[in-house]
Amino acid sequence: MLEDNFEAVVARINQAKAKANRHDEVHLVGVTKYVDVDQARALVKTGVHEIAENRTELFLEKYQAMQDLEVTWHLIGSLQRRKVKDVINLVDYFHALDSFKLAQEIQKRAEKTISVFVQVNVSGELSKHGFSPEELKPFIEALNAFDRIKVVGLMTMAPIDANEQELRAYFSTLRQYRDQIKSMNLPYAPCQELSMGMSRDYEIAIEAGATYVRIGSDFFKNN
Ligand SMILES: *Cc1c(COP(=O)(O)O)cnc(C)c1O
């Protein structure tokens, strides 16, 4: 079942890349928040070598139990400041930098350069985390003071009820912001990556330029 789901996801990713005439890499990040350690391990053995959790407790549990496997670790959920110290030096990528205070705390606790995605609220939904488009550039400029933070890219989550046309608009907007930040040529913000697309919308995200897709339920569904 897991193998079948994995093959279906890979096939759909490749189709979306072909449709968009893309030959660069799209990182497949497996989100294991719904499943236990055994199933997360099975996902790695099936071929997904980048794993994400959205909560620090679940992250630490999986991280500790999977040290014998070769895994790139992602933290994707909003992170409370008081929990930064528990995880920030263990993750390879943090996808949800959404406030100046969180950046301050990361800077304070980091023992190495931390690769982050800055979260952008492209839709303006009140329930969504992330910077508004107007706040984004000043925030990135302010990060100049934080030598432990490297902005590898931008991340967004589309509204649950967005239709295909709206999804395309949100994702291509994020790509435009990414291109703007990238063209600033800031040494601490190369901003080459786009973390966008989940089970329900990753093909559209890939067509719009996603370089990291975060996929959970599509791996673990029962067909
Ligand atoms: C859960 C989660 C995902 C994966 O969602 P699926 O719909 O299960 O693929 C991606 N990104 C974030 C931030 C999540 O919390």
User: According to the model, what pLDDT value does residue 6 have?
Assistant: 98
Distance 198 CA to ligand 1 centre (A): 6
Contact 159, 123 (CB under 8 A): yes
What CA–CA distances, in Å, run from 39 to 3, 64, 75, 216, 222?
Answer: 12, 15, 18, 12, 14
pTM of the model: 0.97
Whether the predicted pLDDT of 214 surpasses 80: yes
Domain count, the chain: 1
The domain that holds 157 is classified in CATH as: 3.20.20.10
Distance 215 CA to ligand 1 centre (A): 6
For residue 217, give the ligand 1 atom closest to its CA: 8
Please report, rounded to a whole number, the percentage of residues in the chain having pLDDT higher than 70. Answer: 100
Contact 2, 38 (CB under 8 A): no
Distance 137 CA to ligand 1 centre (A): 26
Task: Give per-residue pLDDT as tens, 113-130.
Answer: 999 999 999 998 877 899
Residue 158 belongs to what domain range? 2-220
